């Protein structure tokens, strides 16, 4: 068992400002058509981004690579959310998030830290677009899954989830992290070793991190959405019959 120092789960320790901001962003994208996302992505000022996550390797100059990357690569909501989350630990987070905030005309407070949310470091795209080509089938699948995941009460089609999971360079952690970014109250990132923080409702403290289930990513690869739903139900069952939000549980893992 991996022990962690007991910490109170309160606003002094946990900044969950990313939750309403990402939710508003997801809802706004879901309320509009695909062209809305593409136009707004291209309107964001990405000039402060230090790199493109190691994904855009073509082009003669950096700014050309970035422009081509944003124009062709990030045209689906999963790639956009994952790429955006990758900037939370960079020096450019404030400038990029502020530009997204203004471009999408968001009302929720702009996040100032990414400590309590996923921070992907590799494979930021959800489509193989390195040659500037878009696989329409994959593109449509990603949009379909987003439309299913973004509402307040998501209704995931298991077949759609499983088809996305079988796409190019998609693995369970990557997919579930992005679902969590899109709807952090309903989904949870699943790593290979699922660490469940033990929460004391009396003392209002996280006591320890306990590996509850092993080989979780392998389980999802084999069992698809049905297995992922079982893991989500298992997580909810450990926290006051589901009364604690998923993002609060994740914050306990991050502390």
Residue 54 has pLDDT above 50, yes or no: no
How does residue 242 score in pLDDT terms, banded at 50, 70 and 90?
Answer: low
> Rounded to the nearest 5 degrees, what angle is found at the Cα of 75, between the Cα atoms of 167 and 64?
110
pLDDT in tens, 203-222: 455 555 455 556 788 889 99
Q: What is the pLDDT of residue 115?
A: 81
Pairing of strands 205-213, 194-200: antiparallel
Residue with tokens 């549980």: 249
How does residue 159 score in pLDDT terms, banded at 50, 70 and 90?
Answer: very high
pLDDT in tens, 97-153: 999 999 999 999 999 888 888 888 766 677 765 555 567 888 899 999 999 999 999
Return d(Cα 159, Cα 84) in angstroms, integer: 27
Mean pLDDT of 48-76: 53
Q: What is the mean pLDDT of the chain?
A: 78
Residue 65 has pLDDT above 60, yes or no: no
Residue 20 has pLDDT above 70, yes or no: yes
% of the chain residues with pLDDT over 90: 38
Lookup: tokens for 35: 């062209």
Q: What is the pLDDT of residue 216?
A: 84
Mean pLDDT of 75-98: 86
Return d(Cα 236, Cα 255) in angstroms, integer: 19
Residue 11 has pLDDT above 50, yes or no: no
Cα atoms in the Cβ-side hemisphere of radius 13 Å centred on 63? 3
Q: What pTM does this model have?
A: 0.83
Which is higher by pLDDT, 237 or 214?
237
Question: Which has the minimum average pLDDT: 36-40, 123-127, 130-134, 161-165?
Answer: 130-134
Return the closest-CA partner of residue 123 out of 168, 87, 184, 89.
Answer: 168
Residue 180 has pLDDT above 80, yes or no: yes
């Amino acid at each position: 068992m991996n022990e962690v120092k007991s910490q109170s789960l309160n606003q002094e320790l946990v900044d969950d400002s990313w939750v309403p901001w990402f939710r508003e962003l997801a809802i706004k994208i879901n309320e509009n058509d695909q062209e809305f996302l593409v136009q707004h992505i291209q309107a964001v000022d990405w000039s402060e981004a230090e790199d493109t996550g190691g994904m855009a390797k073509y082009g003669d100059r950096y700014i050309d690579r970035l422009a081509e990357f944003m124009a062709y690569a990030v045209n689906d909501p999963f790639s956009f959310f994952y790429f955006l989350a990758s900037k939370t630990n960079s020096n450019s987070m404030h400038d990029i998030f502020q530009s997204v905030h203004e471009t999408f005309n968001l009302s929720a407070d702009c996040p100032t830290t990414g400590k309590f949310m996923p921070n992907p470091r590799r494979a930021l795209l959800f489509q193989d677009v390195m040659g500037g080509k878009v696989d329409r089938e994959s593109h449509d699948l990603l949009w379909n899954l987003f439309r299913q995941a973004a509402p307040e009460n998501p209704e995931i089609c298991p077949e759609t989830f499983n088809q996305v999971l079988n796409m190019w360079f998609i693995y369970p952690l990557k997919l579930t992290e992005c679902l969590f970014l899109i709807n952090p109250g309903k989904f949870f990132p699943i790593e290979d070793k699922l660490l469940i923080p033990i929460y004391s409702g009396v003392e209002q403290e996280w006591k320890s991190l306990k590996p509850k289930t092993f080989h979780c990513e392998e389980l999802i690869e084999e069992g698809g959405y049905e297995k992922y739903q079982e893991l989500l139900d298992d997580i909810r069952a450990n926290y006051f019959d589901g009364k604690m939000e998923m993002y609060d549980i994740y914050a306990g893992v991050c502390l």
